[in-house]
Amino acid sequence: MKHLFTFFLLISIYSVKAQRNYIANTANSDSPGLENTVVGASAGFTSLTGGDNSFFGFSAGLNAGPGYDNTFIGSYAGANSRFGISNTFVGSFSGYSNVAGVSNVMIGDGVGYQNNGSYNTFIGNNAGYNNTIGSYNIFHGHVAGYSNTTGSHNIIIGPNAGTTITNGDDNVLIGYSSQAEDGLHNATAIGSGSRVVISNALILGNQANVGIGTSAPTTRLEVVSETPDNSGLRLSNLTTASPATQSTDQFLSVDEKGNVIKAGYKLRINNPSEWSDKVFVPGYQLKPLSEVKKFIDANQHLPGIPSAVEVAKEGVDLVKMNAKLLEKVEELTLYLLEQQKANKEMKAEIDELRALIKK
């Protein structure tokens, strides 16, 4: 009974001396820290002066100092974290070199091994392994972001994703082995094997088809509008100040299957009646020029041609407008032919009169 009393007395003395620490290995039982839990050989071995830390595993928090609110689980987890605050390292050698980084979450063997950045979340064996001062990164997947050293604000998700970049900020890589060139900014690659090589760019897939409004795209980009006979596409931010002098002999068109194709300036009609050759069909009613003049005087444009106000409001159908313009040219040809006929008849009459005068 006397020995039992002595044992409990010794425990009480150690508890007071360690200021409410729970030390499961006697080498650290004289730690001056506050409310720490240390379990494992050499865990928290050096002067553990911080508080509210939990170290579990061989040499976990080995060189811990005044840092606090840390949780290290695994052999050598957070081994060199002297001044770190609010870090969670789970896995052998996770956060091993972290000296002063704060608010990091690292889960997996060797994850964030070289880390000294802050506010990072690394999940997966050796994810973010070489990260030194990069901060505010999210790396998720086996060796995701493995080579990153100084890049910040990056999101890299997927096994082997982002393994080639060492720096660059504000990038997003999602998918198995999705990659980016070094030093990019605001670059995004989504999809297995996708790769982006310039800043401020978005890459979708690797030799993949992209569908908008469809789950089964058959080309690189297929857009299915919710409204029939509506492309679902819009080009905006084009104003009257947009350059109109630049021209090309190519433009985008749509074939009979709905595919967008590159084509020359070629307009098509559905049937011959939509074209202007009807002007030359016998029986075509050509308006007298006197009626045309009255119409022009009243409306300030040719009959059958939309006014400037109508064009500004409604636009024009290029096929119909071209047909109308050619119709006016053909009507003008008929007027000229009539004038030529009248002139010829008049000349004949004049010649007859001259002959009579000579007699």
Which secondary-structure segment (H or E) carries 202? strand 202-204
pLDDT score, position 262: 64
Is the distance from CB of 91 to CB of 111 less than 8 angstroms? Answer: yes
| Section 52-60 average pLDDT | 95
> Which residue reads 């030093």 in tokens?
183
Which pair of tokens denotes residue 99?
């000296």
- Sequence-distant (6+) residues with CB within 8 A of 64 are 44, 46, 48, 50, 53, 55, 70, 78, 81, 82
Domain ranges of the chain: 272-358
10 has pLDDT over 70: no
Burial label, 67 (beta-carbon count in 10 A; 0-12, 13-18, 19+): buried
Q: What is the DSSP letter of 197?
A: -
Residue type at 193 in one-letter notation: G
- Kind of pairing between the strands at 195-196 and 179-180: parallel
110 has pLDDT over 60: yes
Which pair of tokens denotes residue 109?
């063997």
pLDDT score, position 266: 64
The predicted-structure confidence for 210-255, as pLDDT tens digits, reads as follows: 999 999 999 888 888 888 877 777 777 766 555 555 555 566 667 7
**Across all residues in the chain, what is the average pLDDT?**
86
pLDDT score, position 334: 87
Predicted confidence band of residue 355 (pLDDT cuts 50, 70, 90): confident
Predicted confidence band of residue 345 (pLDDT cuts 50, 70, 90): confident
- Sequence-distant (6+) residues with CB within 8 A of 243 are none
> Which residue reads 């596409």 in tokens?
233
312 has pLDDT over 60: yes
Distance CA 359, CA 354 (A): 9
β-bridge partners, 172: 155, 188
23 has pLDDT over 70: no
pLDDT score, position 12: 42
pLDDT score, position 209: 93
18 has pLDDT over 50: no
- Sequence-distant (6+) residues with CB within 8 A of 17 are 29, 30
| Section 71-96 average pLDDT | 98
3-class secondary structure, 53: coil
Predicted confidence band of residue 136 (pLDDT cuts 50, 70, 90): very high
Percentage of residues of the chain with pLDDT beyond 70 = 83
> Which residue reads 């660059």 in tokens?
168
131 has pLDDT over 90: yes
35 has pLDDT over 70: yes
Sign of the dihedral through C-alpha 40, 43, 48, 50: negative
